[in-house]
Amino acid sequence: MPRAKVHKFWETQPVGQYKDVGNTGLPEGPIEASTPLSEVKQEPYNLPSPYEWTTCDMNSEETCNEVYNLLKNNYVEDDENMFRFNYSKEFLQWALHPPGYYTSWHIGVRAKASKKLVAFITGVPARIKVRDDVVKMAEVNFLCVHKKLRSKRLAPVMIKEVTRRVHLENIWQAAYTAGVVLPTPITTCQYWHRSLNPKKLIEVGFSRLGARMTMSRTIKLYKLPDSTATPGFRAMELRDVPAVTRLLRNYLARFVVAPDFDEDDVEHWLLPRENVMDTFLVESPETHEVTDICSFYTLPSTILGNQNHSTLKAAYSYYNVSTKTPLLQLTNDALIIAKQKDYDVFNALDVMENECFLKELKFGPGDGQLHYYLYNYRLKHAIKPSELGLVLL
């Protein structure tokens, strides 16, 4: 085990601490009790004096553009700084406007003098099932500090401010993921990548030609059929929301940590949106019953410093449910669709039952891990990725 780092900020927060790992005497559930709302700090935290808080209304075209550009230029990069996430504006608007969202949780920081947006953090409300309890939480995402303002301890102030605004809505728990290790993950997942356009992936340095492989053999290896195999495979529509909700709720019940989706959530999170979310299902040609679902979201990355290619078009596996069609076949059909839609790569985490198709469908393990965290909620033990039924964007 690598020696745990010192975490000046995280050591002060109600999260699982390193010193408590393995101490099964501590109870599961909230680490700190909620306090009366009147005791929640009413004023925002202090920022260093050149900066000020701003609430970002993502329905405003202008604000959405500012957020989009901040993230496009300053958000998550891979370890070698070859790629940077490029969430689209449509994606950001969708991700931040689920049922019951709070505009006050979409928090920006501006330079007072120029009014330039220099940092961002968001929360959206969610009900998360942890074992047999359903807990109201915030899903926290899009934490970003402009590259020129890094390592000035702005992030802890932003995290405290989003926490305060979540508390003001009488919500006391949160879920989040990060590529960095913090105290302490509930589980650590790995991304797997399935090449759809191997030639481009190799040209931009995303993947490498395997030992004793030529380009043409590689292209052949990843070739997919022209059309999907499953009879009754089609895009989800509004009328499918009740059936998809039933299937998904029933399936997610088996995981230790998973969202508690109702029909409004399913309509928001799963209904197809062009270049944002794709959901397919299998409708039995005989009974017209919906028996299986598979879905993926669209998150391109900017390719940094390549003469010939500027973006990598990536699909990310979201929620899948198989009751009749084997998950392997369902996912292979998703790969075929993604290829038809010109994605370069299809990514999946080793969560839920994804292990069963990763190797067989020629996904390769990525470097870099994704750690999942809960704020103010203790699990006695870390869980396995296969016990996790939650995908954050």
Q: Nearest-CA neighbor of 256 among 137, 141, 385? A: 385
The residue assigned the tokens 């075209």 is 61
CB of 253 to ligand NHW, least distance (A): 25
Compute the distance between CA of residue 174 and CA of residue 245 in angstroms, rounded to an integer.
23
Compute the distance between CA of residue 278 and CA of residue 355 in angstroms, rounded to an integer.
21
Compute the distance between CA of residue 375 and CA of residue 66 in angstroms, rounded to an integer.
29
In the shown chain, the binding pattern of residues 257 to 286 toward ligand NHW, with x for contact by CB under 6 A and - for none, equals ------------------------------
Within residues 146-205, the interface with ligand NHW by CB under 6 A covers: 150-156, 159, 162-163, 166, 172-174, 176-178, 180, 182
- Nearest to ligand NHW of 175, 293 (CB atom): 175
Compute the distance between CA of residue 253 and CA of residue 274 in angstroms, rounded to an integer.
29
Compute the distance between CA of residue 393 and CA of residue 139 in angstroms, rounded to an integer.
10
Residues in the chain: 393
CB of 240 to ligand NHW, least distance (A): 31
- Nearest to ligand NHW of 137, 281 (CB atom): 137
Alpha helix (H) residue ranges in 295-349 = 327-340
Catalytic positions are: 393
263-270 vs 241-252: helix axis angle to the nearest 10? 100
C-alpha Rg value of the chain to the nearest Å: 21
CB of 81 to ligand NHW, least distance (A): 11
Among 45, 75, 101, 222, binds ligand NHW (CB under 6 A): 75
Are 357 and 328 in contact by the 8 Å Cβ rule? The answer is: yes
CB of 255 to ligand NHW, least distance (A): 21
CB of 142 to ligand NHW, least distance (A): 5
Among 56, 144, 244, 351, binds ligand NHW (CB under 6 A): 144
Within residues 10-49, the interface with ligand NHW by CB under 6 A covers: 10
- Nearest to ligand NHW of 152, 254 (CB atom): 152
Can you name the residues that pair with 274 across neighbouring β-strands? none
Stretch that binds ligand NHW, among 2-10, 23-31, 40-48, 49-57 (CB under 6 A): 2-10
| Amino acid at site 101 | Y
- Nearest to ligand NHW of 165, 200 (CB atom): 165
Within residues 362-381, the interface with ligand NHW by CB under 6 A covers: 375-376
Among 56, 128, 145, 257, binds ligand NHW (CB under 6 A): 145
CA distances from 192 to 149, 358, 361 (A): 32, 7, 11
Size of the site for ligand NHW (CB under 6 A): 35
- DSSP one-letter string for 191-251: EEEEESSHHHHHHTTSS-PPTT--HHHHHHHT---SS--STTEEE--GGGHHHHHHHHHHH
- Nearest to ligand NHW of 164, 362 (CB atom): 164
CB of 157 to ligand NHW, least distance (A): 8
The residue assigned the tokens 């995280």 is 10
Stretch that binds ligand NHW, among 6-14, 198-206, 220-228, 354-362 (CB under 6 A): 6-14
CB of 56 to ligand NHW, least distance (A): 15
CB of 120 to ligand NHW, least distance (A): 9
- Nearest to ligand NHW of 40, 356 (CB atom): 40
Q: Nearest-CA neighbor of 343 among 383, 304, 297? A: 297
Residues with Cβ within 8 Å of residue 356, at least 6 apart in sequence: 327, 328
Q: Left, alpha or beta for 211 (phi > 0: left; psi -120 to 50: alpha)?
A: beta
Task: Report residue 185 CA to chain centroid gap.
Answer: 15
- Nearest to ligand NHW of 195, 317 (CB atom): 317
Can you name the residues that pair with 119 across neighbouring β-strands? 109, 145
Among 64, 124, 130, 143, binds ligand NHW (CB under 6 A): 143
In the shown chain, the binding pattern of residues 103 to 142 toward ligand NHW, with x for contact by CB under 6 A and - for none, equals -----------------------------------x-xxx
- Nearest to ligand NHW of 171, 241 (CB atom): 171
Binding footprint of ligand NHW on the chain (CB under 6 A): 7-10, 74-76, 138, 140-145, 150-156, 159, 162-163, 166, 172-174, 176-178, 180, 182, 375-376
